[in-house]
Chain A
Amino acid sequence: MRAETLKGHLDGLLLASLEAGPRHGYAIMEMLRAGSDGQVDLPTGTIYPALRRLERAGLLAGTWDEAGGRRRRVYSLTPAGRQALAAERGTWRTFSAAVTALLEPAPRPVTT
């Protein structure tokens, strides 16, 4: 799936990837790939500024963590981030239902 296709949904995907618990950037990207059967495959480098932007927006909290001799910046959802994720879900459900209805209309009864 191209980055252009995902435009506008990246924030929601990043928030959703952190719903189960804190993760660092590379683990988030791996989760997005695995959770979408490889369909979501953005250049990994692009998610780091996006995570910082969401942190600036108060939706994520980031802290440096050291494990196995390597420092990683770990992100978790803030209460505002959980609210934003719920709102993203609601918007997506409405949007996808409308688009599905238009792209895949239910078969109409044949009239003679």
Chain B
Amino acid sequence: MTAGQVIDAYVEQVVAGLPGPARERADMIAELHSGLLDALDAHRHGGLPDDLAAAAATAEFGEPRVIAATFRSELGARLARRCALTLASTGPVVGLLWTASAMASHIGMPHALPWEEGAPSGSATVVRLLLAALLVTAVGALVTIAVTGRLAARRPGRTRVAPAAAVISGYGAVIVDVTVFSLLAIQLASAPGGLAPVPVAGAAAASVARLLLAWRAAQRCRAALA
């Protein structure tokens, strides 16, 4: 193996299975690779032949498994923060679209809310589930954002909960969107002609997009937990 191959093999061992936003992960790995080449140069200048210089450089950088764990922690925090910010920013948009749809369809307006008197049977339970899922999603996202923010970055111990909180928030958002579709189905079954088609279609499309996004976010953050 050439010195370059020894360095590449070391980097591959560190990279294997690392989570994180692809661009940030590639950027951090490029920095590690560049640092290893600096170490290789330093050992060459110290008089070591190529093969021993490469071995000394990788030994100096530490056990790949240990280094991968430190990268995993930072990348996991960055991934969780990105997922939580995405969920926190898309949630209100989808919520507003559904509210606009309900208003355009005169559901629950102006007097009774959908789960109150006169609402289709079964909707009250679904609405309670929806509110609980909304709460879990919001708390999970806020905790993630808080523990991965500027202040918390000085205390890396707190960051460890970030991927778990982001997973909870992601699955919570999935449940929110599924329950919204359940409510829509109940409404369609009880009064199919009462819905305003354009706003409902727009909100449903946004909800589907967010459901897929939340599922993917939760899965990626779950992988960062392993």
Binding site for B on A (CB under 8 A): 11, 24-27, 30, 42-46, 48-50, 52-54, 56-59, 70-73, 84
> Mostly helix, strand, loop or mixed at chain A's interface?
helix
Chain A to chain B contacts (Cβ below 8 Å), 21 pairs: A24-B38, A26-B35, A26-B38, A43-B62, A43-B67, A44-B35, A45-B32, A45-B67, A46-B66, A48-B35, A48-B71, A49-B73, A49-B74, A49-B75, A52-B28, A53-B153, A53-B159, A56-B74, A58-B150, A72-B38, A73-B31
Q: Tell me the nearest residue of chain A to B63, going by C-beta.
A: A43
How many pairs of residues, A versus B, come closer than 8 Å at their CB atoms? 82
CA distance A45 to B74 in the complex (A): 13
In the complex, which residues of chain A have a beta carbon less than 8 angstroms from the beta carbon of B71?
A: 48-49
With beta carbons under 8 angstroms apart, the residue of A43, A56, A70, A73 that contacts B60 is A43
Judge whether B70 and A26 touch: CB under 8 Å: no
CA distance A97 to B63 in the complex (A): 35
> Mostly helix, strand, loop or mixed at chain B's interface?
helix
In the complex, which residues of chain B have a beta carbon less than 8 angstroms from the beta carbon of A30?
A: 42
Judge whether B153 and A45 touch: CB under 8 Å: no
CB distance from A61 to the nearest CB of B (A): 13
CB distance from A92 to the nearest CB of B (A): 15
- B61 touches A (CB below 8 Å): yes
In the complex, which residues of chain B have a beta carbon less than 8 angstroms from the beta carbon of A50?
A: 70
Given A43-B66, A53-B74, A56-B150, are A48 and B31 also a contact pair (CB < 8 Å)?
yes
CA distance A59 to B35 in the complex (A): 21
Judge whether B34 and A73 touch: CB under 8 Å: yes
Given contacts A25-B34, A27-B38, A70-B38, 4 further A-B contacts (CB under 8 A): A26-B38, A57-B150, A73-B34, A84-B154
Judge whether B39 and A26 touch: CB under 8 Å: yes
